[in-house]
């Protein structure tokens, strides 16, 4: 029941932040807004649940929000700034810091577009 009460502030906050984040992407705005909004609402619901289970001290909510904002801010900063200011490597131009993350994502997209079964990824 308390989780449902949290949705009163979680849904507007996640949709508005999702709309802001999708403005910076190059894709379709409303799809990005819905995707970001869904992920952010799940994350904020998890943070709210963790705060309640931790006894609801005010210091804990500030720590959780600070950690969340730092993580989100670093991710947005690097994905937007590396193609502009990073090295001329394909990894930085794609918005990644490390080669292995770029390789795994490229392989995942190739498998998803191929129409092949998922079990081929585990060969």
Using an 8 Å Cβ cutoff, are 63 and 13 in contact? no
Q: What is the pTM of this model?
A: 0.68
- pLDDT at site 1: 66
C-alpha–C-alpha distance, residues 91 and 99, integer Å? 6
**Radius of gyration, alpha carbons of the chain:** 18
> Given a cut of 70, is residue 101 above it in pLDDT?
yes
**CB < 8 Å & 24+ apart, contacts of 62-69:** 68/43
Lowest-pLDDT range, 10-24, 36-50, 63-77, 79-93? 79-93
How confident is the model over 25-46, as pLDDT tens digits?
777 888 989 999 999 999 999 9
Report percent pLDDT > 90 for the chain. Answer: 34
C-alpha–C-alpha distance, residues 107 and 111, integer Å? 6
> Given a cut of 70, is residue 59 above it in pLDDT?
yes
> Given a cut of 80, is residue 104 above it in pLDDT?
yes
- pLDDT at site 3: 67
């Amino acid at each position: 029941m308390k989780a449902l009460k949290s949705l009163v502030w979680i849904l507007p906050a996640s949709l508005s932040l999702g709309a802001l984040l999708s403005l910076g992407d190059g894709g379709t705005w409303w799809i990005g807004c819905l995707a970001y909004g869904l992920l952010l609402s799940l994350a904020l619901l998890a943070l709210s649940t963790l705060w309640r289970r931790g006894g609801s001290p005010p210091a804990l909510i500030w720590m959780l929000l600070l950690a969340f904002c730092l993580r989100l801010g670093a991710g947005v900063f690097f994905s937007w700034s590396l193609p502009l200011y990073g090295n001329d490597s394909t990894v930085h131009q794609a918005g990644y810091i490390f080669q292995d993350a770029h390789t795994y994502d490229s392989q995942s997209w190739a498998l998803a577009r191929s129409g092949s079964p998922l079990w081929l990824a585990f060969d």
